[in-house]
């Protein structure tokens, strides 16, 4: 199974900050990775697919990069709506696996 190691598990930030979240895959997954945002009490929503393609309707302050085993989600100029938990998901091979999540909290 492919393990997805996500870091940090939590971080504190302020509105306007740049936030970077990382996912490392235990083996090469090409760019078969998505990023998801989950607000408290809500279903997740996809932000990015194929590692760097922004989902329609997602603000451009979100961006993704990486390929192979190292991936990053960057949030430029953090907004109040962005305080949430973020997950990566590899869909290169079964079983599909999520990272452990990163909770972005208010500093």
| Among the listed residues 2, 47, 62, 87, the single contact to other proteins using CB under 8 A | 87
Only segment of 17-25, 66-74, 75-83, 90-98 that touches other proteins (CB under 8 A): 90-98
Q: Does 20 engage in binding with other proteins (CB under 8 A)?
A: no
Only segment of 18-26, 39-47, 59-67, 73-81 that touches other proteins (CB under 8 A): 39-47
CA atoms within 13 A on the CB side of 49: 6
Q: Determine whether 103 is exposed, middle or buried from the number of CB atoms within 10 Å of its CB (0-12, 13-18, 19+).
A: middle
**CA angle (93 as vertex; 87, 98 as ends), nearest 5:** 15
**What 3-state DSSP class applies to 55?**
coil
Nearer to other proteins by Cβ, of 7 and 76: the residue is 7
Total residues interacting with other proteins, rule: CB under 8 A? 20
Nearer to other proteins by Cβ, of 27 and 77: the residue is 27
Q: Does 101 engage in binding with other proteins (CB under 8 A)?
A: yes
Contacts of 74 (CB under 8 A, 6+ apart): 18, 19, 20, 21, 62, 63, 64, 65
Which positions lie near other proteins, rule CB under 8 A?
34, 36, 38, 43-46, 49, 55, 87, 89, 91, 94-101
């Amino acid at each position: 199974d492919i393990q997805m190691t996500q870091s940090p598990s939590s971080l504190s930030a302020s509105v306007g900050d740049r936030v970077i979240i990382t996912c490392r895959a235990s083996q090469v997954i090409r760019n078969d990775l998505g990023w998801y945002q989950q607000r408290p009490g809500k279903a997740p929503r996809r932000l990015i697919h194929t590692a760097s393609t922004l989902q329609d309707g997602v603000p451009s302050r979100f961006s993704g990069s990486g390929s192979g085993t190292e991936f990053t989600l960057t949030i430029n100029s953090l907004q109040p709506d962005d305080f949430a938990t973020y997950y990566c998901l590899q869909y290169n091979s079964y079983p599909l696996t999520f990272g452990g999540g990163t909770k972005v909290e208010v500093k």
